[in-house]
Structure 1
Amino acid sequence: MIVHHVALPLAPTNHFLNHVGMVKDKRSRQTWSIIWYATIWALWRVRNNTIFNNVRRSISHILDVAMVNDWLWIKNFLGMTYIAYSDWILNHLQCMNITL
């Protein structure tokens, strides 16, 4: 689940820096930052749906949407089209070849 790789500091800037600071090499940092952006984008869309359309979602649904978003962004932005969603769900870090 996404909760295993997202830290939650209060300030957004600190949140991002904490998140990308978890990995050391440049390529992994780029990949890892895409996860952060995709997750924040998913949360922003849920927020807007709640505010403007009065749509309520469960936390489980929100996390699933974020995980799908992460997978799609990684596949498209980094050209990792070979990653199957079933593999992504089981071990997204291994799919991206990232060690924390």
Structure 2
Amino acid sequence: MFGAFRPSQPSFVGLLWKTPWKLSRTRKANARFRLKRVDSVIEAVEASGVHCAALDKALELPKEHEMPARDKYTVFSKHAKNYRKGIHKVPKWTRLTLRTNPKGF
């Protein structure tokens, strides 16, 4: 217990990174705001007259107001109980496009 190899304080406490099981109001609002900003960037690029494969793919994605809440805040997961998990449980979820999900889930 004592000496050079005693356990550190975090190992006494338990889980080091505590992730809440659901998104707070603030995090949901920030997620919606982020989706709206991406929509505005896509519209601006389209209005500028640029044509590329990435823009064509981005135009196929649903806009923020067209997405149901289920798709805004959760993603498909084959390991989860109801095949859905919160977007905040996905690594780097603020930088990924999570707008598309498998049909029926």
* TM-score normalised to structure 1 length: 0.25
Q: Normalized per residue, which structure has more helix?
A: 1
Q: Normalized per residue, which structure has more strand?
A: 2
